[in-house]
Amino acid sequence: MATTSRSGGGSSGGSGRTRVGRYELGRTLGEGSFAKVKFARNVETSENVAIKILDKEKVLKHKMIGQIKREISTMKLIRHPNVIRMYEVMASKTKIYIVMEFVTGGELFDKIATKGRLKEDGARKYFQQLINAVDYCHSRGVYHRDLKPENLLLDANEVLKVSDFGLSALPQQVREDGLLHTTCGTPNYVAPEVINNKGYDGAKADLWSCGVILFVLMAGYLPFEESNLMALYKKIFKAEFSCPPWFSTSAKKLIKKILDPNPLTRITIAEVLENDWFKKGYQPPVFQHEDVSLDDVNDIFNESKESPNLVVERREERSTTPVTMNAFELISKSQGLNLGSLFEKQLGLVRRETRFTSKSPANEIISKIEQAAVPLGFDVKKNNYKLKLHGEKTGRKGHLSIATEIFEVAPSLHMVELRKAGGDTLEFHKFYKNLSTGLKDIVWKSGDEVKDEEVNSGAGGVSS
């Protein structure tokens, strides 16, 4: 199992916490129209975990019980050092809780965003781990179908972990156009046959995405990049790209074999494993096969009162102050504090969240956000120090929905986090630019200023 941090990664000071079974829920790590991922702590062992929360009503509405049960059962059986581990599954009357490994090293692509492209040996090491994970899951009949930057995480020891294997395609079923789009708002990593939407081989499509990822690791930019969507599709369909001169000849040859637009002639993973460039310094994964019980997966759809996997969400008394953010959390968030780069064009990555700090009182921050959001056509719902902004107009992917939360970093300093909860990511980017105009007088620091000054000089005095 990967090393997870023991230094409180998200369940913070202040009251108003929620308990689910033996887990205490903390801050939201990610949010979508179909599921939410929260940080949580096992109160019996103090181990940190991530919990994916699915809405039962949506699962039933879209007739997805069979698919979810299959995917979760398979994921529980997967025990691989390069795949995020699933520990257990629980359910309440309205929600399904999938308890997963929590890793602290951030996204692999943060390394490129901050330090630039990787050297060939470093890129090969991560690519080998990625192929190990993908090959193992394919051997178990599980296909990712949506490999992209935010699904590639690093643990504390810099070991690559692929997240959302087997679960990534679940929300796709409810998409109106039936395409397997990447949720970050760009199809740059998706195989041409997936864009064509004529049925495709999951293994071949996953390998194409791995090829794009390898290119980005070594180049620092995308192989296919166009501002016009149709022009981008044409480039992907023709595999129209060129490798930079610093790629070795053998790396270029392998990438060209992977990024073959014809899935029938595209190289297979078995052939990649035998490739000379790939095999350099290769270390096969070491792991043990364990006996795994699937009782909890069956129980969550059973609803018999005796099941230990049926839980109740218990809320403790409500908070009268914003949740306190400790030094560890502040530092772990620092890589994502750059407001200036909501849109990382080079990597085809569109940020789904952003933050700023303010010296204003929490109540004043809430009022200012409400005053700025309403004229932009957003309905505002308040719940203590959290806000839900819901767009009245229908956008490219439905109504834009934004979750906002205020954290206390120090007695006179607050951090405000805004996350896209639904709708189009590029529309979120545009909305935030408009909103920030109305927040000028309460924003104290943003972007790299927060990273440099607040984390480096202020962390010692942050309340924990």
Cβ(104)–Cβ(39) under 8 Å? no
Which range has the worst mean pLDDT, 15-19, 146-150, 416-420? 15-19
Q: Which residues pair with 353 in a beta bridge?
A: 419
Cβ(148)–Cβ(182) under 8 Å? yes
Angle at alpha carbon of residue 106, lines to 111 and 359, rounded to 5°:
100
Per-residue pLDDT tens digits for 369-394: 999 999 999 999 988 788 899 998 87
Which range has the worst mean pLDDT, 139-148, 255-264, 271-280, 443-452? 443-452
Q: What is the pLDDT, as a whole number, of residue 304?
A: 53
Residues belonging to the binding site are 52
Angle between helices 120-139 and 202-219 (to 10 degrees): 170
CATH 3.40.30.10, domain 323-458, yes or no? no
Nearest to 267 by CA among 211, 223, 215: 211
Catalytic residue among 146, 206, 299, 424: 146
With a cut of 90, say whether residue 277 has pLDDT above it: yes
With a cut of 50, say whether residue 449 has pLDDT above it: no
399 vs 390: CA distance, rounded Å:
7
Distances (CA, A) of 179 to 83, 173, 228: 25, 9, 18
The larger pLDDT score, comparing residue 445 to residue 255, is at: 255
**According to the per-residue pLDDT averaged within each range, which of 6-20, 31-45, 78-92, 321-335 is highest?**
78-92
Mean pLDDT on 217-230: 88
- In the chain, where does the domain assigned CATH 3.30.200.20 lie? 1-103
Cite the beta strand spans of 370-433 per DSSP E.
Answer: 378-383, 386-395, 398-410, 413-422
458 vs 455: CA distance, rounded Å:
5
181 vs 426: CA distance, rounded Å:
14
Nearest to 401 by CA among 410, 411, 388, 412: 388
The larger pLDDT score, comparing residue 376 to residue 59, is at: 376
419 vs 351: CA distance, rounded Å:
9
361 vs 4: CA distance, rounded Å:
34
- In the chain, where does the domain assigned CATH 3.30.310.80 lie? 323-458
Angle between helices 249-258 and 202-219 (to 10 degrees): 150
Phi, psi for 368 (deg, rounded to 5): -65, -40
What end-to-end distance do the CA atoms of the chain give, in Å? Answer: 28
Per-residue pLDDT tens digits for 175-212: 344 333 333 335 888 899 888 776 788 899 999 999 99
Residues ≥6 apart with Cβ < 8 Å to 61: none
Q: What is the pLDDT, as a whole number, of residue 323?
A: 67
CA trace torsion 39, 80, 277, 345 (10° rounding): -20
146 is known as an active-site residue: yes
Residue 58 tokens read as: 């949506």
CA trace torsion 225, 229, 233, 234 (10° rounding): -90
With a cut of 50, say whether residue 86 has pLDDT above it: yes
Residue 244 tokens read as: 């930079």
Cβ(99)–Cβ(90) under 8 Å? yes
The larger pLDDT score, comparing residue 106 to residue 296, is at: 106
- In the chain, where does the domain assigned CATH 1.10.510.10 lie? 108-279
Report the share of the chain in percent with pLDDT over 70: 74
CATH H superfamily, domain 108-279: Transferase(Phosphotransferase) domain 1 (1.10.510.10)
Helices (H), 23-119: 56-61, 65-77, 108-115
Mean pLDDT on 324-339: 49
Residues belonging to the binding site for ATP are 52
Q: Which residues pair with 356 in a beta bridge?
A: 416, 446
Q: Which CATH number fits domain 1-103: 3.40.50.300, 1.10.3470.10, 3.40.47.10, 3.30.200.20?
A: 3.30.200.20
Mean pLDDT on 79-91: 89
pTM for the full predicted model: 0.70
Q: What is the pLDDT, as a whole number, of residue 306?
A: 57
Residues ≥6 apart with Cβ < 8 Å to 283: 128
Q: What is the pLDDT, as a whole number, of residue 105?
A: 84
Cβ(223)–Cβ(241) under 8 Å? yes
Mean pLDDT on 60-85: 80
350 pLDDT tier (thresholds 50, 70, 90)? low
